[in-house]
Amino acid sequence: MDIKDFIKKFRAEFEDIPQGSITPSTSIKDIEGWGSMHALIVVALADTEYGVTIKGEELKKANTIQDLFNLIVSQQK
Amino acid sequence: MAFFSVENINLLGIAAAVPRNEISNYDYDFLNESERKLLIKTTGIEKRRAVLNSGITTTDLGMAAAEKLLKETNTSKDDIGILIFISQTPDYLLPASSILLQNRLGLSKSCMAFDINLGCSGYIYGLSVIGSLMNQAKIKKGLLIAGDISSISAVREDKSVYPLFGDAATATMLEYNTQADKMHFSLQNDGSGYEAIIVREGGVRKPLTKESFLIEDLGNGVSRAPRNLELNGMDVFNFSVTEVPANVIEFLRETSTTVDSYDQFIMHQANLLMNETIRKKLKFPAEKVPYSLSKYGNTSSASIPLTIVTELGKKVSGNVSFLLSGFGVGLSWGTVSLKTHNLVCPQLIEL
């Protein structure tokens, strides 16, 4: 998997995020309107698309999109 | 995993009752419009029923459902030898609500009655207990009443709980019948997750004090008091999408069945994102997996029978092969397979 593909999938989950506004260095918490519901959707995405279970605490430690991507990759067997 | 079968027990009918008061999540102005839109899209919950200040209890709803079912199945009250009430919102701390129902329904004094304290997994556990006892004691007819008034413990300023739960109770009539197909069960639990869904105060560990009612702002749109229902959405999500598919896959293996062996897969109605993740993992086709979530929300132990009543209704005539799966508070989860023949499903009752 590559990060471009991940960003595409990430964006597809959220209608309200403007096109092209997400890059690997984007700070997750600074995405406009980011909340607990978005976090849950990310966990579901990781599970369905990548077969990975992300824990709440791990997700909190991921600051950027790159961190989140790395977290998912590290969990894949 | 507790895996076992119960013989000689048929499901005759299911009835469900909800309070008339409807609450729309589109009116949940504690959230702004985009948050509200995302909440409804993700959870799939548009509307819910709540008793509000009507004074209606779980047993009131359960009683209405049971009376309707007694009538529609032409069951004599004297034939009911067991009544089990599944709830986490009983009328009193004691005595058990099932015993109140025995009296209010006019059932015989030789009808055994007791409560089981379980939530979202309760319907599956309840079926296993009532089926086993009825088979063992050859009891002609039994009533399983399951439901909760969750709105009583949810506070409006808690977006992680308030918009999710609805009130409902259901009644299921079972009969002893040597021609019945076997019911197969797989029951599991994990007490290490007890804090994932919890009401912290009001029990003996932490009795109610004045402070139990003080609502505290915990940030991120969550304010609640220690007596309120608390839910860790992320933990519940991870638990459900991991343990439920694993349990069902193991169940299919144990019973030498596949997804194709079942006409309907009815899951506890938690939220759409979670339920759909489970459905996709198990590769159940969408047309076999009905939801009552959008209209009634998460109704705890009532959710599976309520979904059968509201979403299948007339489709349960003839033979139907069901796979039912409940999961949640405890943590507790379980699966049952059963076959029905012209299941009696009267229209939803509104009180």
CB contact under 8 A, B273 and A44: yes
Question: Which letter does DSSP use for residue B125 in this model?
Answer: H
CATH number at B165 reads 3.40.47.10
pLDDT band for B350, please (50, 70, 90 cuts).
very high
Per-window interface: B 124-183 vs A, CB < 8 A: 160
**Tens-place pLDDT, residues B49-69:** 999 989 999 999 999 999 999
Per-window interface: A 9-38 vs B, CB < 8 A: 16, 33, 35-38
H or E stretch covering B175? strand B168-176
pLDDT band for B1, please (50, 70, 90 cuts).
low
Question: Which letter does DSSP use for residue A19 in this model?
Answer: T
In total, how many domains does chain B have?
1
Q: What is the mean pLDDT of chain B?
A: 96
Smallest Cα distance from B238 to chain A, Å: 7
Smallest Cα distance from A62 to chain B, Å: 15
pTM reported for the whole predicted model:
0.95
In sequence order, what DSSP letters do the residues of B100-118 get, joined into one string? Answer: HHHHHTT--TTSEEEEE--
Mutation target among B25, B38, B272, B276 for the A interface, most CBs of A within 10 A: B38
B177-180, Cβ contacts within 8 angstroms, sequence gap of 24 or more: B177/B8, B177/B9, B177/B10, B178/B8, B179/B10, B180/B7, B180/B8, B180/B9, B180/B10
Nearest CA in chain A to B33: A33
Mean pLDDT of B19-46: 94
Domain that holds residue B277: 1-351
CA distance B349 to B58: 14
Three-class secondary structure of residue B329 per DSSP: coil
ipTM exceeds 0.90: no
Strand order in the sheet with B319-328: B2-6, B183-189, B332-341, B319-328, B264-267
CB contact under 8 A, B221 and A48: no
Q: Domain A3-75, what architecture?
A: Orthogonal Bundle (1.10)
Nearest CA in chain B to A39: B234
